[in-house]
Amino acid sequence: MKFGLCRILLLMILCAVPALGQEFTGRVTDPTGAAISKAAITVHNVLTNVEETTLTTESGDYRVPFLKVGEYKVTASAKGFKTAIHAGLVLQTEQTSTVNFSLNVGEVSESITVTADSIIDFDKADAGEVIENMRITELPIGSRDPGMLTELSAGATWNQSLTWDRPFDDTQNNININGGQNGGSELLLDGMTNSAASVNGFGTGRISYVPLIDSTQEVKVITNPYDAKYGLMVGGVEEVTLKSGTNKLHGDVYEYAMRTWLNANSYSNDYANAHLLPGAKPHPTSPLKKDQYGFELDGPVIIPKVYNGANKTFFMMQYERWVQVSPNYSFASVPDPKWTTGDFTSLLTKPAIPITIYDPMSISPSGVRLPFGPTDNNGNATLAANIIPANRLNKFAQQVLTYFPAPNVDMTGQANPFQNNYAYNSSDNDHYRNAVVKVDHLFTENDRSTLRYGYWQRFETRDTTGLLGGADQGALPYTLRSHTFDFNHIHTFTPNLIADFHAQVVDRFNFWHGGPKFNPVTQLGWNQQMVTAMGPQAGIEFPALNLHSFASPGQNNYNADTHLSLY
**Tens of pLDDT, residue by residue, the chain (567 residues):** 444 444 433 444 344 344 457 999 999 999 999 999 999 999 999 999 999 999 999 999 999 999 999 999 999 999 999 999 999 999 998 888 999 999 998 876 666 777 765 556 666 667 788 999 999 989 988 889 998 888 888 888 888 877 788 888 888 888 888 877 777 788 899 988 888 765 444 445 678 899 999 999 999 998 887 777 777 667 788 899 999 999 999 999 999 998 888 888 877 788 888 888 888 888 888 778 899 999 999 999 999 999 999 999 999 999 999 999 887 878 889 999 999 999 998 887 766 778 888 888 887 777 788 888 887 776 777 778 888 888 888 888 888 888 899 999 888 777 788 888 898 877 788 999 999 999 999 999 899 999 999 999 999 888 778 888 777 777 677 888 999 999 999 999 988 889 999 999 998 888 877 677 778 887 787 888 888 888 777 777 788 888 888 888 877 666 666 666 676
Measured between alpha carbons, how far is 207 from 213 in angstroms, rounded to an integer?
A: 16
* pLDDT for the residue numbered 399: 87
Write the pLDDT tens digit of every residue in 74-127.
999 999 999 999 999 999 988 889 999 999 988 766 667 777 655 566 666 677
Sign of CA dihedral 180, 233, 435, 306: negative
User: 7 CB contacts (<8 Å, ≥6 apart)?
Assistant: none
* pLDDT for the residue numbered 278: 84
Residue from 552, 327, 330 nearest 422 by CA: 330
* pLDDT for the residue numbered 135: 92
**Contact assessment for residue 439 and residue 313, using Cβ atoms and an 8 Å cutoff:** yes
User: 102 CB contacts (<8 Å, ≥6 apart)?
Assistant: 28, 29, 30, 31, 33, 84
Exposure string for 102-135, b = 16+ CB within 10 A, e = fewer: bbeeeeeeeeeeeeeeebeeeeeebebbbbbbee
* pLDDT for the residue numbered 119: 59
- Classify residue 376 by its DSSP letter: -
* pLDDT for the residue numbered 537: 74
User: 204 CB contacts (<8 Å, ≥6 apart)?
Assistant: 172, 173, 181, 182, 183, 184
Max Cα-Cα span within the chain:
125
**Contact assessment for residue 236 and residue 185, using Cβ atoms and an 8 Å cutoff:** yes
To the nearest 10°, report the CA torsion of 263, 264, 267, 273: 120
Amino acid in position 458: R
User: 293 CB contacts (<8 Å, ≥6 apart)?
Assistant: 253, 254, 255, 256, 320, 321
Measured between alpha carbons, how far is 181 from 157 in angstroms, rounded to an integer?
A: 10
* pLDDT for the residue numbered 294: 96
**Where are any strands of DSSP class E within 301-421?**
302-303, 307-308, 313-332, 348-349, 353-354, 358-363, 369-371
For β-strands 307-308 and 289-300, DSSP reports them as: unpaired
Residue 171's SS3 state is helix
**Contact assessment for residue 74 and residue 24, using Cβ atoms and an 8 Å cutoff:** yes
Amino acid in position 21: G
* pLDDT for the residue numbered 486: 95
Measured between alpha carbons, how far is 4 from 55 in angstroms, rounded to an integer?
A: 37
Write the pLDDT tens digit of every residue in 444-459.
989 999 999 999 999 9
- Give the chain's length: 567
